[in-house]
Amino acid sequence: MRVRFPDFRPDGSQHAHRHDVIMNMSAQDTIELAGHGLVLREWRDDELEAMVAVFDDPAMAYWTPMATPFDLEAARAHLERVRRRRALGERLHLVITTDGEQPKGEVMLNKLTGTIGYGVGPAYRGQRLAYRAVLLMTEYAHQVEGLAQVSLEIEPENGASTAVARAAGYRLSDKKPQTVVEKGRPTSLLTWVHDA
Ligand SMILES: CC(C)(COP(=O)(O)OP(=O)(O)OC[C@H]1O[C@@H](n2cnc3c(N)ncnc32)[C@H](O)[C@@H]1OP(=O)(O)O)[C@@H](O)C(=O)NCCC(=O)NCCS
């Protein structure tokens, strides 16, 4: 399935200009989203090293539930989990690329909770990749998955991620902060929301 979003703006003005979503079912039923200079696509079998380059990083280890150290074994386990959850229809993890090739990060939609998560490899930060990936995935969630509200769960101390949420047009909800223990560290997560 290939989906192209030509005219989406974080301030919500996309509704005035909304184009039809273009979807083509491919033989393998793989999902690819294109727009904002990005191609979001699924992980390939031969990308374990590229996955390590994205996820084996102190910021990724601290702010996300990803394994640390993130080595080839962790990459294999991640790929297996990603494919299992995709097959169950629970989650969609897509690689962030600018050309359809080099993996630069990952953006994930949990279809059961309507939550998006993301990470950009250390070599690729500061290029508005996370912002653009969140825009695209948000549009996909609303338009294709039919989710009326999409959310991000972010620690208030994570300034980079909070800036991504704001830039992508999310607003801080009044939901009580959720306390979860991640890798032995208690974390308090604020919920940011985006309405269709
Ligand atoms: C958070 C993260 C995904 C941002 O990726 P990125 O591609 O560098 O972010 P972008 O370039 O899209 O930046 C979007 C906005 O955030 C701001 N920003 C990015 N990094 C920042 C930082 N370290 N401090 C403050 N603001 C930051 C940018 O200036 C930009 O703001 P603008 O729209 O006002 O210009 C990346 O730092 C990362 O992977 N961190 C580790 C994993 C993580 O924290 N994931 C989110 C868990 S909730």
Residue 41 lies in a domain: yes
The arithmetic mean of pLDDT across residues 68-86, rounded, is 97
Question: Tokens 């999902």 correspond to what residue?
Answer: 31
Q: How confident is the model at residue 9 (pLDDT cuts 50, 70, 90)?
A: low
**Quick check: is 157 in a domain?**
no
126: tokens are: 């500061």
* Residue 53 resides in a domain: yes
What does the chain come to in residues?
196
98 in any annotated domain: yes
Q: Which amino acid does the sequence have at 192?
A: W
CA of 189 to the centre of ligand 1 (A): 17
Question: Is the link from the previous residue into 103 a cis peptide, with omega within 30 of 0?
Answer: no
Residue 5 pLDDT exceeds 80: no
Report the separation in Å between the CA atom of 177 and the middle of ligand 1, taken as the mean of its atom positions: 21
Is there a contact between 109 and 141 (Cβ–Cβ < 8 Å)?
yes
Q: Give the pLDDT confidence of 122-171 residue by residue, as tens digits.
A: 999 999 999 999 999 999 999 999 999 999 999 999 999 999 999 999 99
Work out the angle at residue 172's Cα, subtended by the Cα atoms of residues 168 and 175, and round it to the nearest 5 degrees. Answer: 140
CATH code of residue 28 = 3.40.630.30
Q: Could you write out the three-class secondary structure of the chain? A: CEEECCCCCCCCCHHHHCCCCCCCCCCCCCCEEEECCEEEECCCCCCHHHHHHHHCCHHHHHHCCCCCCCCHHHHHHHHHHHHHHHHCCCEEEEEEECCCCCCCEEEEEECCCCEEEEEECHHHCCCCHHHHHHHHHHHHHHHCCCCCEEEEEECCCCHHHHHHHHHCCCEECCCCCEEEEECCEEEEEEEEEEEC
CA 163 to centroid of ligand 1, rounded, Å: 6
> Is residue 122 a part of any domain in this protein?
yes
| Ligand 1, atom 25, residue with closest C-alpha | 160
Report yes or no on 188 lying in a domain: no
Q: Is residue 10 part of a domain?
A: yes
What token pair was written down for 128?
Answer: 């508005």
Residue 160, ligand 1, Cβ within 6 A: yes
Count the domains in the chain: 1
Residue range of the domain that includes 97: 2-147
Note whether residue 118 is domain-resident. yes
Q: What is the pLDDT of residues 20-71, one digit of tens each?
A: 333 434 445 789 999 999 999 999 999 999 999 999 999 999 999 999 999 9
